Structure 1
Amino acid sequence: MNSHYATRFFWAGVLTITLGVVVLFNAAVTSGAIVKVTGLVLLTGGAVQLVMGLLEGGGYHRWLTLTLGVLTLLLGWSFLSNPLSGVISLTTFMLILLTASGIVEILFGVRARGTPFFAPFMAAGLISLVLAGILLASPTATRSLLGILLGIHMLAAGAYLTLMGMYMKS
């Protein structure tokens, strides 16, 4: 039984790595697909929120739920109607997230001076800030970032699954 699962993990990893390579070579197209899926998820979530708001009793919570439902629907529709703007919006969000996390990691690194955590915090913070700088400086990176991140994630996940299968086999 263990060998059967090991084989499944191994081949799932190989397939994930292969698809990760395909995604990396088509990063801009993948970014557009990510925005469309995000738009569909937002539309669905907004519709569910609207239904919940209509079913909820009166008062502040009902109006808040209805307002958030409408805003979520509008955002989902915006992503679907103009995927390039959606890519830019999500990439801008990533830029803000990378910048903020880089600053926080460096601040943690400064506080951890003299401990084994100093170098990893500082390195992570600097890498985040460099990635944010690349995003800010390169419009081409903006179009492809989401696809590149997904491709890298798929490569890492595929490597993990493949190694797990090999480990289970031995």
Structure 2
Amino acid sequence: MSEWARWLVAGLLSGALGLLALANAVAVSIAIVWVTGTMLLLAGTAQAVVGFSDSGVWNKILSVGLGVLIALLGWSFMRNPLEGTMSLTAVITLVIAVAGVLRLFWSFRMRETGYYWMMLATGSLSILLAAFIFANFLQASEKLLGILLGVELLLNGAALSLLALFLRANSDEF
């Protein structure tokens, strides 16, 4: 199979998985929380174990204590994945809101340039998106993670398919 065809297959597979994720957004959200919980549990346990070998009493206490807290957070996500979707949705929504506020701040610093309106628009849209998610938090929290993953997989599939078509058209250059 040629290189461009492999990229096309990868793109089509990514797009198909994106559609599947969008069709099952709640199940995908729960799976994301469970995987996140597993990773936090493993990382926290490893940090706590390694923390015992730290030099100094305070370093040891801080390392082990932080490791235990991270492991407990992971365990909590795994035991209560629906509540975990709410926690992760809240964090993601706060990140979107803060990014929007920062873009608004930057837009006012760019007032004299041609980038002002685009930065103002993207910042405003991020803030509106965050407000929409918070206004519909109970409904959004159980689906948002799955929707975001599905959209990312669709965009990735489109990008890989375009790369494949580019490679096919320009195969003599590569």
The TM-score range, normalised by the shorter chain, is: over 0.9
Query: TM-score by structure 2 length?
Result: 0.93
What RMSD over aligned residues (CA atoms) do the two structures have, in Å? 1.1
Q: How does 1:22-41 map to 2 (within 5 A)?
A: 22-41=20-39
Is structure 2 residue 113 aligned with structure 1 residue 115? yes
Query: TM-score by structure 1 length?
Result: 0.95
The runs of at least 4 aligned residues of structure 1 exceeding 3 Å deviation read none
Q: 2:51 is matched with which residue?
A: 53
Deviations 1:103-139 (A, max 9, x none): 1111100110121221221122112111111111112
**CA positional deviation for 1:19:** 0.5
**CA positional deviation for 1:11:** 0.6
**CA positional deviation for 1:98:** 1.3
Deviations 1:58-106 (A, max 9, x none): 2322221111100001100000010111000001111211111111111
| Bigger share in helix | 1
Q: 1:83 is matched with which residue?
A: 81
Q: Which amino acid aligns with 2:85?
A: V
Tell me the SS of whatever aligns to 1:103: helix
CA distance in 1, matches of 2:46, 2:116: 45
Q: 1:153 is matched with which residue?
A: 152
CA distance in 2, matches of 1:85, 1:157: 29
Q: 1:162 is matched with which residue?
A: 161
Question: Which segment drifts farther, 104-113 or 119-128?
Answer: 119-128
Q: Which amino acid aligns with 1:158?
A: G
Tell me the SS of whatever aligns to 1:55: coil
Structure 2 unmatched ranges of 5 or more: 170-174
Query: How high is the sequence identity, in percent, across the aligned residues?
Result: 38
Question: Which segment drifts farther, 76-85 or 111-120?
Answer: 111-120
Kindly tell me the number of residue pairs found equivalent between the two proteins. 168
CA distance in 1, matches of 2:25, 2:132: 16
Q: 1:106 is matched with which residue?
A: 104
Q: 1:129 is matched with which residue?
A: 127
CA distance in 2, matches of 1:23, 1:123: 29
Question: Which segment drifts farther, 109-118 or 74-83?
Answer: 109-118
CA distance in 2, matches of 1:22, 1:91: 20
Q: Is the 8 A contact 1:134 1:141 kept in 2?
A: no
Q: Which amino acid aligns with 1:156?
A: L
